[in-house]
Amino acid sequence: MPSYKKIFENNRQWLEMRKASDPHFFEKLAEDQNPDYLYIGCSDSRVAAEELMGVGPGKIFVHRNIANVVNTLDMSSAAVIQYAVEHLNVKHIIVCGHYDCGGVKAAMQAKDYGLLNPWLRTIRDVYRLYQEELDAIPDIEARHRRLVELNVFEQCFNVTKMAVVQESYLKYQTPEVHGWVFDIHSGELIDLHIDFKALLHKIQHIYDLTGQEWYRPSK
């Protein structure tokens, strides 16, 4: 069977499996979505959010693009975050990168990628911010892995800069922003342990869009 048609056979088998385990599965699925998580990840076909997190349909609101970039001039990612926070009331926003990321590797090359150049520039800007640290890493693969992690961190910064995130956190104490990396070689999901409250406090003086104090660190 051609691979394209095989997809529909897979879908038929999936339907049967779901109905067998829960006859009302699709009735409940069609009611509404109420996910606690917004997952912002890479478009890489090897990294599926639901599978690596071990959850089923309806549990995660997902946005994916090349190298899990959150560019506040990108209407797609901005609209997803706005919708997830204002209308879905997500409790957590996760930026998840992965090792062996083609977008990050491309950004490390002195090469013209045509239409990809403006997109990769965001990652190259991350390299510029941490150039001294990165250039001190002699092994190219280790350097790439570190840039993956730093890119996640900076995209978490970009999420935190958004007015909708600041305003929601000030009012409801949610969402919190998290940075993860998926190790594609081992299957391990790595929490970078970003201190979201400390991050808010650190950038408050420059990126405060609310005119109110979001977070006062405990003495």
**Active-site residues: which are they?**
42, 44, 46, 98, 101
SS3 95: strand
Cα–Cα separations (whole angstroms), residue 96 to 25, 167, 181, 182: 29, 23, 5, 7
Q: Where are the beta strands (DSSP E) in the chain?
A: 37-42, 60-65, 92-98, 176-182, 189-191
Quote the tokens at residue 198: 């400390």
3-state helix, strand, coil in the chain (%, to 5): 55, 15, 35
Please provide residue 91's backbone torsions phi and psi, each rounded to the nearest 5 degrees.
-95, -20
Distance, in Å, from the CA atom of 91 to the CA atom of 177, rounded to the nearest integer, reads: 9
CB 49 within 8 A of CB 39: yes
Distance, in Å, from the CA atom of 98 to the CA atom of 184, rounded to the nearest integer, reads: 7
The dihedral sign for the CA sequence 53, 59, 65, 71: negative
